Structure 1
Amino acid sequence: MIKGLYRGATSSFVGMAVEGSLFFGIYSQTKMYLQGGVQSGEPRPQVIIPSAAYSGAIISFVLGPTELIKCRMQIQGTDSLVPKSSRYSSPLDCALKTVETEGVKGIFRGGCTTLLRESIGNAVFMSVYEYVRHQMHSNIKVSSSNYSNLVDIGIGIAAGGLGGVGFWLTVLPLDVAKTLIQTNPDKNCPRNPFRVLSSVYQRAGLKGCYAGLGPTISRAFPANAATIVAWELALKMLSIRRD
């Protein structure tokens, strides 16, 4: 059924909406603070990296629980995986049963791995985005203001898409470890992502650590391109200046 392809999507959509607004808001404010309130045209890694890493760390507290629910909803796809008696009827049911069986801390299982993924990944994402955007704006001359918006959208698509690809190429192994930690039925399973990845590497090699790389990269470019274009358009509509 088509519905099965979107299992766990509700919590993911909620998480992404909150994540996006939080991340870009915190990133912009932190970046401005580290720049001393002064606009700077040249990308500065000493500003971009800590701003993005800090923002990623903050949103991980939202993403951790929502992704745990999403992952647990997704793995109950067939009777052979999860018996009907143990299935979750909704994301809320999943959250409540998790808290009931594992306590409040259970809903934050894999939180440290999520924090690492978001901090490192977003530092890479924003660095690639800011540098690609700066270079493209510096080298593309627009002869007419009529084409200015189209050029900005094109640059946003390229810079955002490449940033998203950079994010996942860097931290996909951490995402693999996070998913294994969050979906392991054993409440006492190892929580150290590097220990989990070491086990995966011993069983399946480097390929196992990058499981799902193709679909992830295929999604990363258009998804992040759309996110960046939406963010940049929102800034223009709100008349908010940026570098």
Structure 2
Amino acid sequence: MKTSTVWTVVKTVLKTDGPLGFYQGLTSTIVREIPGYFCFFGAYELCRTKFAQYKGTDKDSIGILPLMFSGGFGGACLWLTVYPIDCVKSRIQVYSLAGRQEGFMKTFMGVIRTEGFTALYSGLTPTMIRTFPVNGALFLAYELSRKFMMDTAGY
């Protein structure tokens, strides 16, 4: 069994596809990231704003649990938006390794035609279960770090 290292993979990609080989799936990734992060940060800020209005305070004073829920909600909105795109992107990358790459729309339509629309959401449940604690902790760490740095800098 031959062991692959990062450098053997780099050399193989360069040899077979040239420098553009490193950009397989880039268009799909961009199509996924722009609406995904719009929903991620938009939902986070919307949720924080609603908590602040409900509690009659500013967004920085809503408390740890509402802050973490807002982060989880943002993560859930991201994944609900991008999961089908991510599914197609992942298939494009796997198909390209097998020499069967057909592009985004052909891959997308092929999945729907052969497996049905629900195949685009296969595996979403564990992703959604994971997203609440992960993104809740992410935004908690971000907000606490931001507050610490602002207090330390005297702002």
TM category, shorter: 0.7 to 0.9
1:218 aligns with 2:133: no
The one-letter amino acid paired with 1:197 is F
SS in 1 for 2:150: coil
Deviations 1:172-204 (A, max 9, x none): 01001111111222446112x232111001111
Number of aligned residue pairs: 148
1:98 maps to: 13
TM-score (norm 2): 0.84
CA RMSD between the two structures: 2.2
| Identical amino acids, percent of aligned pairs | 28
8 Å Cα contact 1:181-1:189 kept in structure 2: yes
1:129 aligns with 2:44: yes
Q: Which runs of 4+ in 1 moved over 4 A?
A: none
Residues in 1 aligned to 2:11 and 2:148: alpha-carbon distance in whole angstroms: 40
Residues in 1 aligned to 2:14 and 2:133: alpha-carbon distance in whole angstroms: 35
Q: Counterparts in 2 of 1:1-243, with a 5 A limit?
A: 84-85=1-2, 88-89=4-5, 91-141=6-56, 151-184=62-95, 185-187=97-99, 189-191=101-103, 193-239=104-150
Deviation at 1:205?
A: 0.6
5+ long unaligned stretches in structure 2? none
The one-letter amino acid paired with 1:175 is D
TM-score (norm 1): 0.55
SS in 2 for 1:214: helix
* Structure with greater contact order relative to length (CA < 8 Å, sep ≥ 6): 2
- Structure with bigger helix share is 2
